[in-house]
Structure 1
Amino acid sequence: MQPYRRPQRLQGPVGRLVAFCRGRVQLAVLLLFLPSSALGQCQAPSWFSFASRLNRTDASVFPIGTSLLYECRPGYFSRQFSIICQENSDWTSAENICKRKQCQTPSELINGKVEVLTDLRFGATINYVCNPGYRLIGSSSATCIASDKTVIWDNEPPLCQIIPCESPPAIVNGDIFASSEDFNYGIVVTYRCKTDERGKKLFNLVGEPSLRCTSHDGEVGVWSGPPPQCIDVKKCTPPHLENAFVAPENRSLFSLGDIVKIECQPGFMMEGNSSSVQCSKLNRWEPELPTCFKVKPCGAFLDQLPNGRVLFPLNLQLGAKVSFVCNEGFQLKGKSASHCILSGRESIWNSGVPVCEKVKCVLLQSEIQKELKEKDYYYRSNVTLECQDGYTLEGNSQSMCQSNASWGPPLGKCVPSSNSGLITGIVFGMIFAILFTVALFWLIQKYKKRSNNPARNSLTQEAS
């Protein structure tokens, strides 16, 4: 490996020329990364919405002391001004130099008003609003714009025209009365049913007797409701109930005494005295019509069941049931379900969560049993039963507490030990003793009889 050798520096005019070129390159690179402020320059000024530059140039940087000439745009009072590049590389401010011209004050709007949002100067906007009952014909706003050397509003003031209604609908067997032949906004018309020549009432007016010309959108006039009807005094119009079905349906009139049945739509409940009403005089239904109010579903059932689970229905509408189930080895104490019921007009759950208690098997302690090791036996607990001396266990001696609080297999019972063999022996012994005693007594008596008979004894002696 050859040792590193430092390159020799060129001597003479050639060396000085190389060193000079190297310095110029480094300087150019350094100037490239320096900010303009370090070089004593200003960047090209930003665009002004209120003035235009008179100096036409594409330069992007300007040296300190440069002055640029501007002129205020149309819509502003005519004026020329300059901005100068300062030593800190910022331009002098041009704010508030150009003043906006003001448009003419708008005239009052008959049957309306003019809303000035900010001011009346160049660029400002005003709104036109009509009074209630009038509709606006024309533009609803105007903006102050430049026009030649002045400023004007870009739209003419509108008109506020009163909103008209069409002629009120006529009714059969009735007449219309109005204070004017022009049916404009606010006018009221009144309906009356016809009478006979003597003024006797022939019809009942059913509905609102008066209608008013109004508007929903501020443009088109409409009457405040449907016209009333003149109904025969012996007839009734169908009862009108919201959210309800009426049977029979599709009938326009009912006679006195006719009965109508009312049923609420799904999701609604009836509140009232009766679901059946009868047509009475003066177009009245008796008893008073019921109402159908919307039934809200019960709220979410948020309670939890420790050592168990809550079974939810598909929906929480009226009549829904939430069921409670305990885990294995636990038994329910309380209601097994909660139902969504109606309380007044509110839907509520009729019960809260029950309690899941450990399954406990009962085992009665007896004097004829030996003392048990445990006092309480729960699910899957084992027990061994032992009897006291003199007693015998009949059945199973071991069992386990089951989930239904029973023992499986069933436990046996302690019964007195069996003495049937002894008793039988005693009985037979006594019988044998009695028979033996009777036989012995008979032999003794027989012997005594022989001893007391002399004839028999002499014969015996002679024979001997």
Structure 2
Amino acid sequence: MWVRYLGFVILFGLPGALHAQPCGAPGLDGGYFFPKQETYSHEIEITYACDSGRKPAVKGWWATSTCQNGVWSPEPQCIDEEDCLPPEIPNAKFNKKQSGWYNPGNTIRVTCDNEYELKNRDATAVCLNGTWTSVPVCEISINTCGEPPQIPHAVIIGQKYQEIFAADSEVRYECEDGYSVEGAESKKNIFCLSGSWSEGPKCSK
């Protein structure tokens, strides 16, 4: 009985121990960090920088990393100063490299989200000397619509609120109880067409 109870105590305490594993010193090729120790407690943060000709694999000339359950996050890394970090392009998608950075000469191709379009139809950027050439911009398309019109005694159903809608979007109104559209109907759809919403319903008793 005592042995079984002891086993329960050990197993019960084990998950907590797993969440507080220390970290060994990071292997940082081409850089240096502070403070320098053999082991680091859970949630301890280090600061690092890179040797001449290299830079951190994150934005800035110095960076930080935190010990999280035996693993450094993000992993301290120094890359060639002519490599490029992923560009920040709002409302866009582009091909991500598994390494997290791009080598000189690498090209990305940008696709804008539904409600946006490429400015000047420029869809690509090239990594050159550590920076991107002509980073594409996604701007609101002239064919998008703002929020659908507010109609007395009606609500939009099946759609979360948003400020802009892509071309050809469809939303559905439903009239308040006791009101209807075109006789007995209580629902009506409208569409985003060339930047404007089609005519909305009128809910009447």
Question: What TM-score, normalized by structure 1, do the two folds share?
Answer: 0.25
Q: Between the two structures, name the one with larger relative contact order (CA 8 Å, sep ≥ 6).
A: 2
